[in-house]
Amino acid sequence: MRFLVGNGQHGPAVYLVEGDQAKNLSALDPAVGEDLTAIVSGAVDLDALVAKAAEAQSTPVEAITPMMPVAAPGKIICLGLNYVDHIKEGGYDIPEYPALFMRGLNSMIPAGAPMIRPSCSEQLDYEAELMVIVGQGGKHISEADALDHVFGYTIFNDGSVRNYQRKTHQWTPGKNFDATGPIGPTVVTPDELPEGASGLKIESRVGDEILQSASTDDMLWPVAKTIATISEYATLEPGDYIAMGTPPGVGHAKTPQRWLRPGEIVEVEIEGIGICANPIVAEEDLVAKEAAE
C-alpha cells in the first residue's frame, strides 16, 4: 500500500494512493485522524478500511498538498556515515558502531514546503536518505525480527548546515536548523519493496544536475541491523522516524563545494517510493516577505 498525508479539498487527511489517484481514508473513518498515527499504531482496522475505500470517490494526487506523514513522532533518529564512499569523502574513519544523532521536530518539513537556507550561513547541503517509519514498537529487538517492526518507508533529505555541523564533535547544530529536513510525500509499505528496502536506486538532483546517485545496497548498516542496534538503548515506538544515512556526492565534498541556493528546487528520488522535491528559500527573504504581509 501507498499512503499520502496531505491537505485536500476537505482539509488534512490520510489518503490511500493508487497511481495518480487517492482515496480519503479519514473521510471513511474519523478514527483515522489527520496523519498516519492511528494507522501505524493499529488503532484502526486497516484491511476493513481499504476494502471500504474500493468504492470511495478518488481525488487526484496532484490536488493534495503533502503534510508530515506522522505529525509528532516520539523520536527522529538519524544514522550518519552509513555509506563507505560518503565516509571517505568526509574524511572520517569507518566506524565500528553507527554514528547516531537526533533531529527536533522544528527542523522537519513535508515534501513541497520551502527548505530554508539560514541567514547565518550559505553552507546548506543536501543528503538523500531512506526513511523508516516504525510500526510495532519494542526494545531489544533482534535483527532477525527487526523488519517486522517497520510500518513503511519514505524519503528524507537530511539538510545540513555544514559549518555549524563541524563547530563541535556533536552534529546537533548543523542538523537542526528550522525547516531543513524534508520528508515524504509517499509512505510505502514493506510488501511493495524488496526486503529491507535493499537494492533501490537513491538519487538527489537539482534540475538536470545529478548530485548523488547510489543504491541502498551500499549501506553499512541495513535497516534490520539499524533497528536492532537502536533498540538496544531506546524503546522504539509506533511512528518513530529512523533516517538511514546518505550516499556520496554531498556538496561539501565537491570541488568547488556545491551548496543549495535560493531559487533552486532540490529533489530526492528513491526507486519504488517516489520523489521528495522542495524549493530553497533564503531565511532573510522569508522574513522580509512575512514583514511585508
The CATH number of whichever domain residue 233 belongs to comes to 3.90.850.10
* Number of domains composing the chain: 2
- Show the CA angle centred on residue 132, arms to residues 163 and 166, nearest 5°: 10
With 90 as the cut, is the pLDDT of residue 290 above it? no
pLDDT digits (tens, 9 = 90+) for 22-63: 999 999 999 999 999 999 999 999 999 999 999 999 999 999
Q: Is residue 71 part of a domain?
A: no
Confidence at 254, pLDDT banded by 50, 70, 90:
very high
- Clarify whether residues 130 and 252 are in a common domain: yes
With 90 as the cut, is the pLDDT of residue 289 above it? no
Structural domain that includes position 132 = 76-292
CA distances from 209 to 112, 218, 269 (A): 19, 22, 13
Q: From CA 35, how far away is CA 243, in angstroms rounded?
A: 19
Q: What is the mean pLDDT of residues 275-285?
A: 97
- Clarify whether residues 246 and 167 are in a common domain: yes
The residues, ordered by sequence, that sit 6+ positions from 54 with a Cβ below 8 Å of its Cβ are none
With 90 as the cut, is the pLDDT of residue 176 above it? yes
- Clarify whether residues 17 and 159 are in a common domain: no
- The rounded mean pLDDT for the chain is 97
- Clarify whether residues 23 and 87 are in a common domain: no
Q: Is residue 114 part of a domain?
A: yes
Q: Is residue 122 part of a domain?
A: yes
- Clarify whether residues 39 and 184 are in a common domain: no
- Clarify whether residues 62 and 80 are in a common domain: no
- Clarify whether residues 112 and 251 are in a common domain: yes
> Which of 66, 87, 106 is a domain's end point?
66
Confidence at 125, pLDDT banded by 50, 70, 90:
very high
10 Å CB burial of residue 52 (0-12, 13-18, 19+) is middle
Confidence at 135, pLDDT banded by 50, 70, 90:
very high
With 90 as the cut, is the pLDDT of residue 196 above it? yes
As beta bridge partners, residue 5 has 14
Q: From CA 68, how far away is CA 112, in angstroms rounded?
A: 11
pLDDT of residue 52: 94
Q: Which helix (H) or strand (E) holds 283?
A: helix 283-292
- Clarify whether residues 41 and 83 are in a common domain: no
